[in-house]
Amino acid sequence: MLLATINLTIYILVTKDKFDNIDIKRISLLLFLIIIGITTISLVISPVCFLNHYFIASFLKV
């Protein structure tokens, strides 16, 4: 997912002449915010999943 957004950003920056009517800074800011959002969500979900797995494993042992 992260690689796809980086590739899209590079593609837009390389073919800037085709995207004259689109504001490049706005698109890059939007992609940057999407990357930050995905990173934050994954950082929040990972410990929750780990703790949930640990809780289920300890519950099944008893």
pLDDT in tens, 22-48: 666 777 778 888 888 888 888 887 777
Whether the Cβ atoms of residue 19 and residue 12 lie closer than 8 Å to each other? yes
- CA 23, 27, 31 angle in degrees (round to 5)? 170
> Residue 26's domain spans which residues?
2-61
Q: How far apart are CA 62 and CA 55, in angstroms?
A: 11
Q: How far apart are CA 51 and CA 55, in angstroms?
A: 6
What does the block give as tokens for 34?
């999407």
pTM for the structure as a whole: 0.43
What does the block give as tokens for 62?
């008893």
State how many domains the chain has. 1
For the chain, give the mean pLDDT. 74
Q: What is the pLDDT of residue 19?
A: 58
